[in-house]
């Protein structure tokens, strides 16, 4: 199949493309390389360095006639979205609308949208189901929710088939330790370099960590099985920052200085996703345990690819 992937030079997008090309699909990538890296680009794909807001995107749709589109390109930095919400909205809202319009005009069969359970549900004392009321507290969260809203509008009004995937905290090889999202990569890098680690919220903040290969599999499953609906993609398991840090330190067998620090403004106490609907509708469930995922991520950090 001909598949267009936006954000294909990024962390999750590049893993998705590696899998799609192994499965024999023809892949076209759109990425403006703001956070994406040239070395992540799969050589068996066709890459266009372009912004998703660019009107010239129509030319690519015209030439390649993609049948499916995975939309992962996004400004993903919460702090940046607070500092410059207009910049965030341009990529995360306007860019999404541009792509949806093109999918409608060029009769793309399905639009699979990467969204975020972390920023849409806010604090979740119980694992959040897809019906939990959205409570975004950052411009990034508001923009992701708006993106979902536009996806549904194009689905309802224009007949565009879609699936929306709300990810938990994704981790794995290629995640940038310099970004603010990847606490696993940040801890691994700090431990390897003997640098001090800060455990915010006194290490008690709880998150749902899902390995990138499981997220890739969820996306691929949506090609056939995804309904016009929203699915949580996580593990349903809550892990404290303390436990995460200890698990990583145990794998690396290194020690560094740690400091417990207060929760930063806007940081959630607990964010965990209920994945029962994804299990039932998609027949998907995570396959990689936290320990196994951490081990694979660490092995990548000390490998030649890094």
Among 9, 16, 103, 191, binds ligand NAD (CB under 6 A): 9
Tell me which stretch binds ligand NAD (CB under 6 A): 61-69, 111-119, 153-161, 295-303: 111-119
Tell me which stretch binds ligand NAD (CB under 6 A): 50-58, 129-137, 240-248, 254-262: 50-58
Q: Which is nearer to ligand NAD, 88 or 154 (CB)?
A: 88
The answer to the question of residue 122 lying near ligand NAD (CB under 6 A) is no
User: C-beta of 60: minimal distance to ligand NAD in Å?
Assistant: 12
Q: Which of residues 51-70 bind ligand NAD (CB under 6 A)?
A: 51-53
> Edge to edge, what strands does the sheet with 2-6 contain?
46-49, 26-31, 2-6, 68-71, 110-116, 161-167, 229-233
User: C-beta of 169: minimal distance to ligand NAD in Å?
Assistant: 5
Angle at 12 between CA 214 and CA 288, to 5 degrees: 20
All residues at 6 or more sequence positions from 193 whose CB lies less than 8 Å from its CB, including other chains: none
Q: Is 200 a catalytic residue?
A: no
Q: Which is nearer to ligand NAD, 7 or 127 (CB)?
A: 7
In 3D space, the residue among 116, 175, 178, 110 whose CA is nearest the CA of residue 144 turns out to be 116
DSSP per-residue letters across 192-218: HHT--EEEEGGGT-EE-EEEHHHHHHH
The answer to the question of residue 138 lying near ligand NAD (CB under 6 A) is no
Tell me which stretch binds ligand NAD (CB under 6 A): 26-34, 97-105, 245-253, 255-263: 26-34
Helix (H, G, I), strand (E, B) or coil at 176: coil
The answer to the question of residue 31 lying near ligand NAD (CB under 6 A) is yes
User: C-beta of 256: minimal distance to ligand NAD in Å?
Assistant: 23
For the chain, count helices (H), then strands (E): 12, 14
Q: Which is nearer to ligand NAD, 95 or 173 (CB)?
A: 95
Catalytic residue among 68, 87, 121, 140: 140
How many residues in the chain?
Answer: 306
The answer to the question of residue 73 lying near ligand NAD (CB under 6 A) is yes
DSSP per-residue letters across 247-298: HHHHHHT----EEEEPPPTT--SEE-B--HHHHHHH-----S-HHHHHHHHH
Neighbours of 16 (CB within 10 A): 28
The residue to which tokens 């119980």 are assigned: 126
Q: Which is nearer to ligand NAD, 255 or 288 (CB)?
A: 288
Q: Which is nearer to ligand NAD, 69 or 76 (CB)?
A: 76
**Residues in contact with ligand NAD by the rule CB under 6 A:** 7, 9-13, 30-36, 51-53, 72-76, 91, 95, 114, 116, 118, 167, 169-170, 181
Point out the residues that are catalytic. 140
């Amino acid at each position: 199949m001909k598949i267009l992937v936006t954000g294909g030079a990024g962390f999750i997008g590049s893993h998705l493309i590696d899998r799609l090309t192994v499965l024999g699909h023809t892949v076209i990538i759109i990425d403006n390389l703001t956070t994406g890296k040239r070395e992540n680009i799969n050589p068996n794909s066709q890459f266009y360095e372009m912004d998703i807001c660019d009107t010239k995107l129509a030319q690519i749709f015209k030439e390649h006639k993609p049948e499916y589109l995975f939309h992962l390109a996004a400004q993903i930095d919460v702090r940046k979205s607070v500092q410059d919400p207009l910049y965030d909205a341009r990529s995360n809202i306007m860019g999404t609308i541009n792509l949806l319009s093109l999918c409608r005009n060029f009769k793309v069969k399905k639009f699979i949208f990467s969204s975020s359970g972390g920023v849409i549900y806010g604090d979740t004392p119980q694992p959040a189901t897809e019906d939990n009321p959205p409570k975004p507290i950052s411009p990034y969260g508001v923009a992701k929710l708006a993106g979902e809203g536009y996806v549904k509008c194009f689905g309802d009004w224009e007949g565009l088939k879609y699936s929306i995937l709300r990810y938990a905290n994704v981790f794995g090889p290629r995640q940038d330790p310099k970004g603010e999202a990847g606490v696993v990569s940040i801890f691994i890098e700090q431990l390897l370099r003997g640098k001090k680690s800060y455990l915010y919220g006194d290490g008690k903040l709880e998150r749902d960590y899902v390995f990138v290969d499981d997220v890739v599999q969820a996306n691929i499953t949506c090609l056939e099985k995804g309904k016009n609906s929203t699915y949580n993609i996580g593990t349903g398991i809550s892990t404290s920052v303390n436990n995460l840090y200890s698990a990583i330190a145990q794998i690396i067998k290194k020690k560094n200085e740690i400091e417990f620090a207060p929760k930063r403004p806007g940081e959630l106490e607990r964010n965990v996703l209920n994945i029962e609907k994804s299990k039932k509708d998609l027949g998907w469930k995570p396959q990689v345990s936290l320990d196994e995922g951490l081990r694979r991520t660490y092995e990548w950090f000390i490998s030649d690819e890094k």
